Amino acid sequence: MPTRKSTPSESAMDSFEPYKEKKGEEYMNEDQQEHFKKILLDWKKELMEEVDKTVTHMKDDATNFPDPSDRASQEEEFALELRTRDRERKLIKKIDESLKDIETGDYGYCETCGVEIGIRRLEARPTATQCIDCKELDELKEKTG
């Protein structure tokens, strides 16, 4: 598989090189933990930069428009941006929890049943805390209610 290079529009989640498992290697060994730690830290850094951009944007663009329509448009834009940042704040908390799990040796194992979550699933969703089977079961329970 070719090495992926980051472009300005690519996020940290899109620019990592997938982990190449070695035959017979132990799951969540030191190399794998370092791989996921780097992914998580890069992702967190990117999210924190977005927070900084939002603060700067809101300070720089905060204008008291005399026209109510213009003012309402700006307020709606700011509200949407703040909702996005709130979701990212929650994601940063999950990233921090995942980093803590790496330190304690719990990362990569399902919090429900204890089985390995899997390298590819974690690369797709580095903050995953459940294996695919337990996650699907939870979602099914949610739907049926």
pTM of the predicted model as reported, rounded to 2 decimal places? 0.79
Q: What percent of the chain has pLDDT over 70?
A: 90
pLDDT in tens, 7-66: 444 566 667 899 999 999 999 999 999 999 999 999 999 999 988 888 787 777 767 777
Based on the structure, what is the number of domains in the chain?
1
In a domain, 21, yes or no: no
In a domain, 32, yes or no: yes
Bridge partners (DSSP) listed for residue 109: 116
Cα–Cα distance, 12 to 26 (Å, whole number): 26
The residue among 88, 98, 80 whose CA lies nearest residue 46 is 88
**CATH number of 132's domain:** 1.20.120.910
pLDDT in tens, 90-135: 999 999 999 999 999 999 999 999 999 999 999 999 999 999 999 9
Contacts made by residues 34-39, CB under 8 angstroms, sequence distance 24+: 36/98, 36/102, 36/107, 36/108, 36/122, 36/126, 37/99, 37/102, 39/12, 39/13, 39/123, 39/126
What domain range includes position 124?
27-144
